[in-house]
Every structure is written in structure tokens, then in C-alpha cells.
Chains A and B, each alone.
With several copies, the nearest count.
Chain A
Amino acid sequence: MKIHEYQAKLLFQDYHIPIPRGNIAQTPEEARSVAETLGGDTFVVKAQILAGGRGQAGGVRIVHTPEEVAKTAQDLLGKTLITSQTSSSGEKIQTVLIEEGIKIQKEFYASILTDRSAEKNALMVSTEGGMDIEKIASTLPEKILIEHIHPATGILPFQKRKIASLLRLSKQETQEVGELFDALYLLFTELDASLVEINPLVLTKKASFLALDAKITFDDNALYRHQELLSFRDIQSLDESERIAREAGLSYIPLDGNVGCMVNGAGLAMATMDIIKYYGGNPANFLDIGGGARVETIAKGIQILVSDPKIKAILINIFGGIVRCDRVALGIIEALKSVDVHIPLVIRLKGTNSKEAASLLEKSSLSFILADTLSEAAKKAVAAAKT
């Protein structure tokens, strides 16, 4: 689960990670009032969307009077922001964050995340703050330090010295940044984050550290033990389809192709996308209905695919194991009573009770294209999408 910058900064405050003074607004009037309360002669107005790439897309603006703050908020609020990291339909701005302007001495990059290969958490630091970290990695890899964190020790003094050495910090600054990383790691582990990122982490002209930006992604599997975080969930920012998928417990990622697919199991789902491509088609999505395959879930899945205008044909590929294919077939028949499908539907049901399933489908009055093997199913779906 991703949360907004302003939400992440609330959590930073809880863990004593220093952030600029500021507050959120949902109307231009609120924005003006926040600026007036802050005082000073420089303000930063930041669009609160979950995707990255805001800056280049005009979602972060520097202005100098409460009047301008209000005007900027007016500009941003309610607008849809399309960035390099949003989908092509963009993300709607419902909140802006207004902060005091900060006089910056140096900008760094700092994050903590889980490294699956090392099977540990890791901290990542770079001298190049405020930039896209992936770009730094490809052009200036020597400017990035990655240190794995042992679960029994936390961040060790020698690792803090390495950070300080890379960032060329004074003794006092080393101490301060060490405490900041300890706090960041505590937040990361206590709240089961999978990523905590500060980009940029700045050293101000007053020689103290400040998290100018804040990004947190939580491990969805651990949310059950952090009820307090659930209020941060922003369903509003999701696509309609993504919202339906999440509610139905479906794993769904929309893509740009024309052959929709619905599969049980992530691996088989990917393989199905691959074979659609292999036979000259273009997969329109990843959609894993998981192990259960209840009627309702199947119906929601079909509904999502049907509502995507790019999709010209649908391939349902189910390998029945413990889930019996005849049950799945009944589910499909039942689901199609409530969803109207105007495009060709290719169905492959393999495994347990697949013969019974085929006869059930054939007996129904609905129109399908049946397939037996994986290649047959893919070829038929690709051909159907072309007509």
C-alpha cells in the first residue's frame, strides 16, 4: 500500500524524523490560510498523488505569497496529473501540501527497502539528491551506497561511517544522520514498510537534516497488524477497474494490448500473456483470480475485462487442481448471466473434471470458443481479437 507524502510525513513526525513545517489543504482558501499561518516569503505547493514523477509534471510549485499559494492550489486541486509513473489516465489531485521554503546547502538521496536477493533489509544512500535514483544507478553507480542491515544488529556504526564518508559529512552531521537512519529503520521495521524513501534528504543552510520529500510503501501482507494505517488508504486515487479488482481480491494490472485474459495462478497468468504474444497477439492485462475461483470473483474478473474498450477478445485459462473445472464452468455460466459480453470468449479448462466442464459449457446457451491445449487456446484468442 502506498500512502501520500503528507501522510508519510505525519509518520516521520511520530518517529522524530525532521520535516519542513507545513500543512495540507483541500480548497484554495484552506491553502491561503495554511500559508498565512506558516509565514515567511517562500512556499512550496505540492500536489498529493500516489505516483512519482510529480516534479517534472508540474505538481510541485514554488511561490512567494499566500495569494499565490491560493492561486496555485486552485490550479492544482481537482486537476488530473499525468506523470511518467501514473497510468495514461493520470491521477486526480484532491489534496495539496503547503510547506515553508527551505534554504538548502546539499541534497542527498536516502531510502530503506527490502532486498529479496540478500534476504535482508538494506539502506541506500546517494550524494545525488532530488534526482531519479534509477538514472543515478545507471550513470553514476559509484555515487550510491547500499548496505544490508542484519536483523539482529540494526544499522551498525561502521555502516554509518560509510554513509558519512560518501556524503562527506562532518562529525556532528554524521551523528545526526546516523540518528535519522536509526529512526527511519525503526519506522520501517515497526510499521512493516517495504520502502521508505527520502528524496531529497537535505542539509539546510542551518546545517541540520530535513526530509524534504517522503515516500512510504507498506507490505500489504502485514497491514493486519497496523490497523492505524488503514485510514491512510486512498481508494479514490485508483482506477475504477483497479478498485473493483482490489475489492474482489483479484490481482489485476492493466496493459495496452487487445487480448484480455483471466487465469488462475500468477505463473500461469504470465505464461498465458507470454503465449498470446508468442502467437502474435498483445495481452491487455495481467489478471489472476487466485485459487478459489468463486462465481462472484469470476464475474468481477469478466466485468473488468469487458469494460476495457481496448480488449477485442477474452481468453479464460484455468488449470483445475483442487478447484474442479466443472465448478469453474458453472461459475462462468452463472457469471455471464450478470455480465454482458459482446466480444469473443475463448475458454480453456484443463485438469480435474475438465471433460464434465466442457460438456456443461456446451450444454449452456451461451457462445464460447472452447480450446483444449494452451497453444490452441492462445491461437484462437489471438485470431478472434483480429476479426
Chain B
Amino acid sequence: MSIILDESSRIVVQGITGKEGQFHTTQMVEYGTKVVAGVTPGKEGQKVKGIPVFNSVQKAIENEGANVSILFVPPPYAADGIMESAAAGVAWIICITEGIPIQDLIKVKAFLKDTHSKLIGPNSPGVISPGKSKAGIMPGYIHKEGTIGIMSRSGTLTYEAVDQIVEEGYGQSTAIGIGGDPIIGTSYKELLDYFEKDNQTEAVFMIGEIGGNAEEEAALWAKKHFSKPLVAFIAGQTAPPAKRMGHAGAIISNGKGKASDKIKCLQEAGICVVNNPAIMGKTLHEVLNQRR
């Protein structure tokens, strides 16, 4: 097994007729993903690379049995698209869209509480279970099927980590970009729970960065509930304090969010933290070696 995606995942692409949607649909199909439907309101009846387009997610589900949606929908319409998918009942919603207003996301989070759907992202490169299915924009070929779960807030840094890990001879069970926005769907902590229960996953690599306290929450949870090796890297040790929110923002987060605090918290929870991004793969290998 893997998490979120496997061979049986049936993907519906929201925004399939857009430039991004078309391009990545092709890429996903080439990777072997079962893209069964697309959605663009008003374009029902069209086809993109032979894939039928519907006016609504509900119709895509009724007609093609889609159970995962991926969004390449422009920011003004993306929150609505997420909620449409959730109301229609897909299991996972993967939102690639970057730049969704934060007030929209606050409403999305409230809306999702009354549904059974889980959201990945927004501002995520997507999810890949190598060898099985890819719902995202990551280059599929750098990945390899295997035993390492990867979760990250970043895109290209994840590719770097994947590359290093493959270099050491390991593949991935599932690699997930959880999204770079301040408010996102599924957290590291929740994903750890999935990885814990997943047979294929033997260890997890977490790529964090400054801001928020998602890494700390994951660490505290992992200390109690996660039995597999967990290795982490936190980007942003040299980054200046976030300019965006000013001082009030720093208070509301209780002064959390600094890389040094995160690293300390993770280490206290017994997690191995890599301090040089060039040896992410190597460190993981060492940790796994020690355990054997």
C-alpha cells in the first residue's frame, strides 16, 4: 500500500481545459495516473486528451467514479472548487493553485468540517505514490517506488530531497507537498498518522520551514504515537523574520516559527534533524542503518 494515492485512484482534474490543467493532465496520464474526468463549468461534452469534461464534480463522480480531485483552478475560483469537490464527496482534494486569499481558506476549513473529504494544499506540488499514481506537478521520473514517506511544505526542495534519497538507494511510498500557504488542509501530524498505519512506509522524511508551528505539532504527536524512524530538515535558519505580518503576527504565534526553535523542539522529541540540506539523503540512510 501507500497513502492517499494508489493504483485504484481515479482522478478528476478541476480546471482541465486551462493551460496548466491540460499540460499537467498529459504529464499525469503519461506517468500512468488514472485521470478519468475533467471539470470546467460550461465545457461539458468536450474532451481533453480523450478525457471527458463535465460541468460539475458531481457529474464527474456519477459518470466516471472519480474519488480524488486535483485543482488547477485560478485563485478566484479555487476555494469554490475545493468546496464543490468536498460537497460532491471525493476522498482527497489536492489543490495545486497558488495565491488563494486567506479569508477564503478560513471559510474552506470551516466548510470541510462538515464533509468527509480531506484537502492537500493549496499551493502544493501535489502527491505521488511512485509507480502507482501521480496527482501533481512534480517530475515523476526522479521518484522511485519504495519505503520512504516524504512530506514537505515546499516544491523544488522536495525534489532535491527525493533526488538525494534515491541516490542513497531508497524509493518512496508516497511523497506529499502539504502546501506552502499559511492555512492548509492536511497537516504533517495528520499525515504521520496515515504513514504510521501504512505497511509500505518504513520511515518518513519531513521537510519543514520557518513560520507557523506545524512541525512542532507533528513532533509532539510523533513522540507519543509514531513508531517509525523520522528524519527532518527545517529550511530558513538564515531567513529574516517574516516581514509580512509585522509584530502582531509574531505574538499570535507565541513567538513560534523560528527555525532554531523548531529544530530544538524536534530534537527534544527525539527526531533526527539534518542541519545541512546537502546531506538529507545521507542522514536518512545513516539513521536507517543504525536501526538495522
Question: Which chain B residue has the least Cβ–Cβ distance from A255?
Answer: B240
Contact A265 B110 (CB under 8 A): no
Contact check: which of B180, B238, B248 meets A113 at CB < 8 Å? B248
Contact B155 A114 (CB under 8 A): no
Count residues on chain A whose CB falls below 8 Å from chain B CBs. Answer: 74
Q: With A150-B111, A375-B278 given, is the CB distance from A267 to B245 under 8 Å? A: no
| A274: interface (CB < 8 Å) | yes
| A89: interface (CB < 8 Å) | no
Bound-state Cα–Cα, A351 to B125, Å = 16
Contact check: which of B101, B157, B251 meets A219 at CB < 8 Å? B101
Contact B155 A374 (CB under 8 A): no
Classify the secondary structure of A's interface with B: mixed
Contacts of A351 in B (CB 8 A): 139, 142, 159, 163
| A11: interface (CB < 8 Å) | no
Contact B137 A322 (CB under 8 A): yes
- What are the interface flags for A262-274 relative to B under an 8 Å C-beta threshold, 1 for contact and 0 otherwise? 0111111011111
Bound-state Cα–Cα, A270 to B233, Å = 11
Contact A221 B100 (CB under 8 A): yes
Contact A222 B101 (CB under 8 A): yes
Contacts of B27 in A (CB 8 A): 322
Contacts of A319 in B (CB 8 A): 156-157, 159-160, 163
CB distance from A141 to the nearest CB of B (A): 9
Bound-state Cα–Cα, A224 to B233, Å = 35
Task: Give residues of chain A (261-317) contacting chain B, Cβ–Cβ below 8 Å.
Answer: 263-268, 270-278, 283, 286, 291
Contact B182 A116 (CB under 8 A): yes
Q: Which among A117, A276, A277 has the highest number of chain B CB atoms within 10 Å?
A: A117
Contacts of B248 in A (CB 8 A): 111, 113, 124, 133, 195, 197
Task: Give residues of chain A (364-383) contacting chain B, Cβ–Cβ below 8 Å.
Answer: 373-375, 378
Contact B87 A122 (CB under 8 A): no
| B33: interface (CB < 8 Å) | no
Contacts of B76 in A (CB 8 A): 224-225
Contact A195 B246 (CB under 8 A): yes
Counting contact residues on chain B (CB < 8 A from A), the size range is 35 or more
CB distance from A113 to the nearest CB of B (A): 5
Question: Which chain B residue has the least Cβ–Cβ distance from A281?
Answer: B238
Contact B182 A267 (CB under 8 A): no
Contacts of A197 in B (CB 8 A): 246, 248
Contacts of A270 in B (CB 8 A): 157, 209-210, 235-236, 238-239
Contact B157 A267 (CB under 8 A): yes
Contact B238 A273 (CB under 8 A): yes
Contact check: which of A113, A117, A195, A373 meets B278 at CB < 8 Å? A373
Contacts of B238 in A (CB 8 A): 255, 270, 273-274, 276-277, 283
Question: Which chain B residue has the least Cβ–Cβ distance from A162?
Answer: B56
| A194: interface (CB < 8 Å) | yes
Contacts of A124 in B (CB 8 A): 248, 251-252
Contact B111 A286 (CB under 8 A): no
Q: With A116-B182, A158-B81, A278-B276 given, is the CB distance from A194 to B244 under 8 Å? A: yes
CB distance from A375 to the nearest CB of B (A): 4
Contact A222 B155 (CB under 8 A): no
The 8 tightest CB contacts between A and B, nearest first, are A267-B154, A265-B156, A267-B157, A222-B101, A375-B278, A158-B84, A116-B182, A270-B235
Q: 14 additional contacts, CB 8 Å, given A192-B102, A319-B163?
A: A119-B109, A119-B183, A124-B251, A133-B251, A157-B77, A158-B84, A195-B248, A222-B101, A255-B240, A268-B235, A274-B236, A274-B237, A274-B277, A275-B277
